[in-house]
Structure 1
Amino acid sequence: MATARTENIGPVVMGLNKQNGQLRGQTKPASVQPAPTTQGKTLGASQIAGGAAQDGGGIKFGDDWKKSLKLPPKDNRVKTSDVTSTKGNEFEDYCLKRELLMGIFEMGWEKPSPIQEESIPIALSGRDILARAKNGTGKSGAYLIPLLERIDLKKDHIQALVMVPTRELALQVSQISIQISKHLGGVKVMATTGGTNLRDDIMRLDETVHVVIATPGRILDLIKKGVAKVDRVQMMVMDEADKLLSQDFVVLIEDIISFLAKNRQILLYSATFPISVQKFMAKHLQKPYEINLMEELTLKGITQYYAYVTERQKVHCLNTLFSRLQINQSIIFCNSTQRVELLAKKITQLGYSCFYIHAKMMQEYRNRVFHDFRNGLCRNLVCTDLFTRGIDIQAVNVVINFDFPKNAETYLHRIGRSGRFGHLGLAINLITSEDRFNLKAIEDQLVTDIKPIPSSIDKSLYVAEFHASGADCDVEEIEEKPARQQDST
């Protein structure tokens, strides 16, 4: 379970070396609320799923197959309408293979979310999809379920390609694929990303692989080397499509598509769709089915506050938040890699366990930090925007913007790391005088309300289980001067 647990680990230790991202201090006691989750062990960048159906060699006709499932603990936390406002469909309604249904239920997915209801039957029909839905509402399941349903185990070539913008998201998606396909009897899933050993990927692709989950640069390299043969791929998924079609990746994506068959199916999923996505859709998608579940942009379960501070007051403010909030796990965002490392060091000096992660770290350390934080070995993670895309750690109930982002898209993805799958979360923004215009602009663009932080924060807004006697969190030490109204310059 990816629940945070307090560690009593003595004096400050820098870890293996300066770059490993795991700084630990004496953890101050706090009440940790377990957050049920179905995430298991994070796998390496090229680990594979396969093997036969488990536990007794399959299911016999007439068996009550649901009784044999190994279900995770039931998640009884309150969920918002972001995931509960459904048509009432069941996963069984989509005529999925029973073995796939077993994997779905063992993930703890009881019923389809709105994006899954809209997407699964259309994807199964073979039609192109342009889907816009909020972060943390089940987009991965929306495309992985039909993708795995359509895999033909009699064919030993790559049948599906999932493109993602970051290595961490590739590992996460491959892990979910492996878990929900474990009863299918031999689906081979491979994750391949930059920063890992190319030779290992080449050797793996010499064997059978059905599904490849990849970052654009690495898969294009393998395609051009003639190792990854994608000419018979029937489905290509682009998760976080807006990022994949940004200037950083769009040329690579266009190149990859040129190697695919003309009759392939393309599915695009994202929370935001800039003009670049529309241009791509017009060029490459054939009469796409459009899904838009974004009447409002921010998740309903996330309460947003700002604290007006000077730059010098930020660390003191953060220390106050740590001591007064009931944090299960928190993600703290900075705008540069240098500030990430400096802040992580400061946090350990204050006596709190802290990991950090950014794009300039060695890949093996990024993998280790990602794995250990997800599994609850540390309560606080300091990072850059590397960690804003699709990362799903349900134990995170507080996001803090130590540095306020420059645009609405980044803000939306950052705060979406809490309040996953309709649960509750808290987003706190530390605002300086230079940020006040960005704050107002982001509120206007997202049509959301970021309120001044109150003297006490009701725990019911962000803690899954709480006692009425301790329902308030006192944060009166944080300065509350309204940033926007008092400055006319």
Structure 2
Amino acid sequence: MTESQTPVAAGPEFSGLPLAPAVLANLQRLGYERMTPIQAASLPLALAGRDLIAQAKTGSGKTAAFALPLLAKLDPRSFAVQALVLCPTRELAEQVAQEIRRLARAEDNVKVLTLCGGTTLRPQAASLAHGAHVVVGTPGRILDHLSRETLVLDGLNTLVLDEADRMLDMGFADDIAAVVKRCPAERQTLLFSATYPDGVTKMARRFMRDAQEVKLAERHSAGKIRQRFYEVGEDERLEAVARLLEHFRPVSTLAFCNTKQRCRELAALLQAKGLVALELHGELEQRDRDQVLVQFANRSCSVLVATDVAARGLDITGLEAVINVDVTPEPELHVHRVGRTGRADEAGLAFSLASLNEMDRVGRIEKMLGEEFEWSPLSELTSSDDPEPLRPPMATVQILGGRKDKIRRGDVLGALTKDVGLRGDQVGRIDVNEFSTYVAVDREIAREAANGLNAAKVKGKTVKARRL
């Protein structure tokens, strides 16, 4: 493997890349003005056909860094699967597929298919039978389709391993190896990973040819993330989270716990105090998980209480605060947790609660980062002058009907503004899933919006809607 030196300054224009004029025009329409550091470092190499190992975290622009090269090689007239992207979670796979579809708008009829667990195999097999150009999915489900021969990779020319370190953490090493065995030897392989544990290096040696290595030295700007530690007794830890939220009043907070049990206890305590808090851990059904994530991403939920495994692959923008309810035993994981706030040049808050028996973990994190943390007393956390509990600005209305019913965002927005009479600024993010559509509306008018949709029509049809 050879390593290329990443340019320190970000921001070259996409027009300097060997991309078709229609692709460049589409990038401009989508608001891609200048390249992020990972794009500037990896795109010239990937577009030249090189195998690539790139160090990049979620939120760094890495999807475009592998999507543009794989799209550049597609033959839209051939409905064989020509690119495969492996992701650790269904949520990340959905995000990646959505972004590839946006980037593929320059070319007519590029079909991008998502294959993940949590839904039945048969509809996925039927979609594959009609042909697809790009498949994005989780290793286990991809392997299921390969073993049933509903997915054939004979025409594959690009394989992408996204968040490779997380896939290994989740025990996908054997599944990945089995998938790679089914891929043609003559292909381009692009591997993206936030960290470089031994497993990733071994994987790269096994599956890649003379790979270029791109490492970005940049971390999140320390000045943008305000990091504080509080010493707590074991019995005051959960109450301390409530005090932090009441004192700083962040609109959107991700609270990390080391165990599912801690997640449940903290979510219950916060809900009892009148906060809109939801939990995310491995025992949730896929449907419940989807609804939790939609509500947090569209600002209908103030606090998401999650384990690290459950939060993998999430890319939530506009996150004001991260709270480490427990200190993680892995220093690298602490950096990932904290790095989820303060993105895109926004300021962020990162709070960590540590008991005396966790001080050795704190010491390991300080050693890795080469800095001493700022400690604050819990006594500084005062109740807000505002007696109201922290409330999210939005609420979510669920419509029964989604992509399968040909519903699009514009249809929902039109029904809400024209038929129900809402102003455009009262409607937030609209997520259209396979069988359901979720729309964020101003909290005060959520019931009115749901009732209005039940009385109106979306795409000429009567729908059922309810406030979540």
- The TM tier, using the shorter chain, reads 0.7 to 0.9
Displacement, 1:251?
Answer: 0.8
1:420 paired to 2:323: no
Cα 1:295/1:85, change in 2 over 3 Å: closer
Alignment partner of 1:321 out of 244, 256, 265: 244
Partner of residue 207, structure 1: 130
Question: 1:245-324 to 2 correspondence within 5 Å?
Answer: 245-246=168-169, 248-294=171-217, 301-324=224-247
Q: TM-score, normalised by structure 1?
A: 0.73
Partner of residue 387, structure 2: none
Structure 1 letter corresponding to 2:324? N
Secondary structure of the structure 2 residue equivalent to 1:341: helix
Q: What is the distance in 1 between the residues matched to 2:318 and 2:60? A: 15
Partner of residue 3, structure 1: none
Q: Larger helix proportion, structure 1 or 2?
A: 2
Displacement, 1:299?
Answer: 6.2
Cα 1:408/1:106, change in 2 over 3 Å: farther
Alignment partner of 1:406 out of 329, 335, 343: 329
Q: Which moved more, 1:224-233 or 1:443-452?
A: 443-452
Partner of residue 140, structure 1: 63
Alignment partner of 2:293 out of 370, 373, 394: 370
Displacement, 1:233?
Answer: 1.2
- After superposition, give the CA deviation of every residue in 1:101-147 in whole Å (9 maximum; x if it has no partner): 34433443321111100111111111100111344322222112222
Secondary structure of the structure 2 residue equivalent to 1:443: helix
Partner of residue 46, structure 2: 123
Displacement, 1:339?
Answer: 1.9
Q: What is the distance in 2 between the residues matched to 1:284 and 1:300? A: 39
Alignment partner of 2:381 out of 444, 462, 475: 475
Displacement, 1:249?
Answer: 0.9
Displacement, 1:150?
Answer: 2.4
Displacement, 1:330?
Answer: 0.8
Displacement, 1:215?
Answer: 0.6
Q: Which moved more, 1:406-415 or 1:202-211?
A: 406-415
Cα 1:298/1:336, change in 2 over 3 Å: farther
Contact kept, 8 Å, 2:280 with 2:311, in 1: the verdict is: no
Partner of residue 365, structure 2: 442
1:156 paired to 2:79: yes
Cα 1:175/1:395, change in 2 over 3 Å: same
Structure 2 letter corresponding to 1:306? F
Q: What is the distance in 2 between the residues matched to 1:300 and 1:104? A: 31
Secondary structure of the structure 1 residue equivalent to 2:320: strand
Displacement, 1:441?
Answer: 0.7
Structure 2 letter corresponding to 1:253? I
- After superposition, give the CA deviation of every residue in 1:143-194 in whole Å (9 maximum; x if it has no partner): 1222223222111111111111111111111122222323422111111111
Q: Larger strand proportion, structure 1 or 2?
A: 2
Q: What is the distance in 2 between the residues matched to 1:381 and 1:247? A: 21
Q: What is the distance in 2 between the residues matched to 1:262 and 1:275? A: 24
Contact kept, 8 Å, 2:11 with 2:37, in 1: the verdict is: no
Q: Which moved more, 1:419-428 or 1:233-242?
A: 419-428
Cα 1:122/1:91, change in 2 over 3 Å: same
Partner of residue 277, structure 2: 354
Q: What is the distance in 2 between the residues matched to 1:139 and 1:387? A: 21
Partner of residue 307, structure 2: 384
Contact kept, 8 Å, 2:220 with 2:343, in 1: the verdict is: no
1:221 paired to 2:221: no
Secondary structure of the structure 1 residue equivalent to 2:226: strand
Superposed CA RMSD in Å reads 2.4
Q: What is the distance in 2 between the residues matched to 1:98 and 1:326? A: 47
- After superposition, give the CA deviation of every residue in 1:280-330 in whole Å (9 maximum; x if it has no partner): 222221111111113658866323211110122122211221112141311
Structure 2 letter corresponding to 1:207? H
Question: 1:83-98 to 2 correspondence within 5 Å?
Answer: 86=9, 88-98=11-21
Contact kept, 8 Å, 1:137 with 1:422, in 2: the verdict is: no
Contact kept, 8 Å, 2:237 with 2:353, in 1: the verdict is: yes
Q: What is the distance in 2 between the residues matched to 1:298 and 1:444? A: 18
Secondary structure of the structure 1 residue equivalent to 2:105: coil
Q: What is the distance in 2 between the residues matched to 1:322 and 1:356? A: 16
Question: 1:56-71 to 2 correspondence within 5 Å?
Answer: none
Contact kept, 8 Å, 1:136 with 1:419, in 2: the verdict is: no
Cα 1:258/1:191, change in 2 over 3 Å: same
Cα 1:476/1:420, change in 2 over 3 Å: same
Structure 2 letter corresponding to 1:475? L
Secondary structure of the structure 2 residue equivalent to 1:392: coil
Partner of residue 27, structure 1: none
Query: For structure 2, which runs of at least 5 residues remain unmatched after alignment?
Result: 1-5, 384-468
Q: Which moved more, 1:266-275 or 1:130-139?
A: 130-139
Q: Which moved more, 1:447-456 or 1:221-230?
A: 447-456
Contact kept, 8 Å, 1:304 with 1:449, in 2: the verdict is: no
Structure 2 letter corresponding to 1:144? A
Contact kept, 8 Å, 1:388 with 1:413, in 2: the verdict is: no
Q: Which moved more, 1:323-332 or 1:290-299?
A: 290-299
Contact kept, 8 Å, 1:299 with 1:416, in 2: the verdict is: no
Cα 1:447/1:285, change in 2 over 3 Å: farther
- After superposition, give the CA deviation of every residue in 1:420-455 in whole Å (9 maximum; x if it has no partner): 244332211111111110011122124354321378
Partner of residue 437, structure 2: none
Structure 1 letter corresponding to 2:118? G
Partner of residue 265, structure 2: 342
Q: What is the distance in 1 between the residues matched to 2:142 and 2:312? A: 19
Contact kept, 8 Å, 1:136 with 1:392, in 2: the verdict is: yes
1:173 paired to 2:96: yes
Cα 1:105/1:346, change in 2 over 3 Å: farther
Partner of residue 240, structure 1: 163
Displacement, 1:246?
Answer: 4.2
Q: What is the distance in 2 between the residues matched to 1:348 and 1:137? A: 33
Aligned residues: 379
Cα 1:190/1:400, change in 2 over 3 Å: same
Cα 1:102/1:425, change in 2 over 3 Å: farther
Q: What is the distance in 1 between the residues matched to 2:48 and 2:256? A: 41
Q: What is the distance in 2 between the residues matched to 1:298 and 1:438? A: 23
Q: What is the distance in 1 between the residues matched to 2:40 and 2:372? A: 29
Q: Which moved more, 1:266-275 or 1:446-455?
A: 446-455
